């Protein structure tokens, strides 16, 4: 009993000290609620979105947005509409893994997903890429909030509602106004016969993708910021791969393209269509021939004086003299200050070959080198020229133009 009384006195004393102490009493924080990503529910959500796209069911896509989030619901419904207008085939999404934890206050998170898609009538095979998907825990389900971002490509048709224009030979998608889409569609439609006049065997269609800005273009192609600041358009695989049958599309930088005059805009579109027709995106051709040939095709029937179409290289030669060698990778770097002059000099080289030996000889020469014949052998076979001899002829041409 004595021991018990002592214990009671100790407890009472501690309570009295706590109650009368000046420091305020602070209740301990409750244990944090455990939150986690939910791969199974995310997989189910992605499967439901694929079904919505396949069925053209915009309402089913809307239902996958977070409760009460009408903006996201509209975005997902817009993607379904894109798919209908673009006639998307072979669409699939497979959940791969979460890329971050639930550290955001709205319970949102990012995950990687394997995606495939194909535009009916235009792509030879499906595009295939790992993309980022945006998800959010929403009660007893996982909601879908969008696609793209991270260090992966962001397919334009999955990023939001687009303007789409289709003809039997062209497919154009634009993140912009209806008027802008009509303009790009006219350029694409006009480019096809321009290319076919030189390359009549080309029958595959032309796909053009136009993001909202150069920043959106960088994101679409997973390119470093600034890569395409000076470029009006680029032709490359839609999924960022080097697979020989990957879909090849023209991607436009609207910040540059939109500032071009009508003739210049058409030349750019026809130039890129030539790249599509020749599978230039995987070619190992010397860049002066690759780019110069595309400009030859695009400018072949354009009635402009050389003082206009070659104005930049003329100014450069007047300032610094003619280049010592045909332009290579360093001169074609997209960050190069005199990139326009480089393109013009390459065009003049190919134009001179066509003047010397005829257009058929130029096309034959291009194809020989593209199939692996070394430049010296092909130049001699098509034109009876050595590399050194042709380079000197080209330098003399530039000097004469600059006089």
Domain ranges for the chain: 39-154, 162-278, 283-403
H-type helices in 21-86, by residue range?
A: 39-55, 58-62, 70-86
Each residue's pLDDT, cut to its tens digit, for the chain (403 residues) gives 444 333 333 333 333 333 344 555 555 554 444 467 899 999 999 999 999 999 999 999 999 999 999 999 999 999 999 999 999 999 999 999 998 766 667 889 999 999 999 999 999 999 999 999 999 999 999 999 999 998 999 999 999 999 999 999 999 999 999 999 999 999 999 999 999 999 999 998 999 999 999 999 999 999 999 999 999 999 999 999 989 899 999 999 999 999 999 999 999 999 999 999 999 989 999 999 999 999 999 999 999 999 999 999 999 999 999 999 999 999 999 888 899 999 999 999 999 999 999 999 999 999 999 999 999 999 999 999 999 999 999 999 999 999 9
Provide the total of helices (H) and of strands (E) in the chain, helices listed first: 15, 9
CB-CB neighbours of 35 under 10 Å: 12
3-state DSSP call for residue 98? strand
The 8-class DSSP code of residue 4 comes to H
Could you report how far apart the first and last alpha carbons of the chain are, in Å? 119
Report the distance separating Cα 152 and Cα 112, nearest Å.
Answer: 9
Contact 127, 118 (CB under 8 A): yes
User: What is the signed CA dihedral for 89, 95, 96, 100, rounded to 10 degrees?
Assistant: 130
pLDDT recorded at residue 10: 33
Q: Which has the closest alpha carbon to 72: 86, 80, 84, 62? A: 62
pLDDT of residue 106: 80
Fold of 162-278: Zincin-like (3.30.2010)
pTM, to two decimals: 0.89
Query: What's the pLDDT at 23?
Result: 54
CATH architecture label of 39-154: Roll (3.10)
DSSP 8-state code for residue 165: E
d(CA 134, CA 62): 15
User: How far, CA to CA in Å, does 164 sit from each of 77, 86, 183, 313, 382?
Assistant: 15, 7, 12, 37, 43
What b/e readout covers 178-204, taking b as 16+ CB neighbours within 10 angstroms?
eebbebbbbbbbebbebbbebbeebee
């Amino acid at each position: 009993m004595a021991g018990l009384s002592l214990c009671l006195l100790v407890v009472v004393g501690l309570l009295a000290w706590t109650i009368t102490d000046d420091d305020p009493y602070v209740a301990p924080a409750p244990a944090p609620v455990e939150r986690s990503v939910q791969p199974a529910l995310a997989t189910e959500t992605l499967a439901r979105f694929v079904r919505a796209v396949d069925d053209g069911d915009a309402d089913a896509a809307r239902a996958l947005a977070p409760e009460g989030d009408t903006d996201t619901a509209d975005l997902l419904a817009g993607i379904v509409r894109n798919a209908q207008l673009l006639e998307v085939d072979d669409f699939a999404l497979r959940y791969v893994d979460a890329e971050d934890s639930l550290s955001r206050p709205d319970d949102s998170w990012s995950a990687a997903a394997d995606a495939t898609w194909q535009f009916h009538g235009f792509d030879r095979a499906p595009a295939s890429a790992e993309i980022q998907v945006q998800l959010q825990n929403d009660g007893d389900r996982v909601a879908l909030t969008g696609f793209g971002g991270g260090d992966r490509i962001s397919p334009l048709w999955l990023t939001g509602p687009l303007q789409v224009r289709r003809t039997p030979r062209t497919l154009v998608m634009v993140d912009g106004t209806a008027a802008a889409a009509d303009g790009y569609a006219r350029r694409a439609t006009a480019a096809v016969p321009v290319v076919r006049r030189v390359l009549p065997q080309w029958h595959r269609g032309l796909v053009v993708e136009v993001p909202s800005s150069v920043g959106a273009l960088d994101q679409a192609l997973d390119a470093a910021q600034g890569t395409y600041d000076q470029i009006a358009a680029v032709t490359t695989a839609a999924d960022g791969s080097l697979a020989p049958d990957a879909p090849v599309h023209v991607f436009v930088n609207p910040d540059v393209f939109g500032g071009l005059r009508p003739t210049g805009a058409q030349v750019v579109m026809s130039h890129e269509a030539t790249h599509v027709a020749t599978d230039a995106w995987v070619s190992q051709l010397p860049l002066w021939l690759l780019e110069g040939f595309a400009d030859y095709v695009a400018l072949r029937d354009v009635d402009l004086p050389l003082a206009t179409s070659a104005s930049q290289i003329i100014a450069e030669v007047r300032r610094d003299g003619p280049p010592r060698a045909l332009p290579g990778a360093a001169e074609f770097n997209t960050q190069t200050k005199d990139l326009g002059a480089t393109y013009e000099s390459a065009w003049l080289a190919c134009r001179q070959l066509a003047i010397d030996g005829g257009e058929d000889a130029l096309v034959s020469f291009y194809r020989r080198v593209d199939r692996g014949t070394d430049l010296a052998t092909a130049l001699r076979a098509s034109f009876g020229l050595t590399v050194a001899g042709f380079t000197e002829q080209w330098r003399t041409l530039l000097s004469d133009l600059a006089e």
